[in-house]
Amino acid sequence: MSARPPRGGNAARRSARSARFNRVRRARCDRANGGYGRRGRRDLVLTTTLQPCLQCAAVIRLGPIAAVRFAGPDRYWDGCHDFGKLSAREARRGQPARTGPRRDELDIFATLISRLVHLPPAYEEALRALGEGPMVDLVHELEGGREVDRLAAMDVIEGFGYLWPRLQELAKVLPA
């Protein structure tokens, strides 16, 4: 490859620089995607605690991901993964397969621990409107009573056992 500067003034130099930048960017994207950009491979399975939000669903849709498995529902973003409704082109494409939510105490546990680290006021208000008030109340109870610190020191099985009675109570009152 030639290292000589291109001829033809500023516009040609800018164009060559832009082409070089795009080649580098493309190579980085291909590496990051395991070659997805070149070969269209889509064979990874992503396992996640909480149902992906809109932004995550978009990244999953664009990435080399064949299937998503998640434990807990996120009522706020429910339905946002369905890109097939956006355009005729998306409707023709295969969308990543989804498994979840689980519909048991483990799904409530997954959603609850996700809410412990992310519950801005507007989000909380929307979750209450969607029927998740009892879980939001439990988040505040756990945070106010410093139980979050105790939970953080436990492994997942211990934490699940510690919260079990309250997860069972939530299972009775949360929307399906």
Residues that bind Zn ion (CB under 5 A): 53, 55-56
Q: Which is nearer to Zn ion, 15 or 47 (CB)?
A: 47
Q: Which is nearer to Zn ion, 57 or 108 (CB)?
A: 57
Closest contact distance (angstroms) between CB of 10 and Zn ion is 42
Using the structure block, give the residue that is written with the tokens 């009775």: 172
User: Could you report how far apart the first and last alpha carbons of the chain are, in Å?
Assistant: 61
Q: How many Cβ atoms are within 10 Å of 174's Cβ, its own excluded?
A: 18
Q: Which is nearer to Zn ion, 72 or 166 (CB)?
A: 72
Q: Which is nearer to Zn ion, 56 or 112 (CB)?
A: 56
The SS3 of residue 108 is: helix
Angle ∠(47,176,69) on CA atoms, nearest 5: 10
Closest contact distance (angstroms) between CB of 7 and Zn ion is 48
Closest contact distance (angstroms) between CB of 57 and Zn ion is 8
Closest contact distance (angstroms) between CB of 110 and Zn ion is 14
* Gyration radius of the chain's alpha carbons: 23
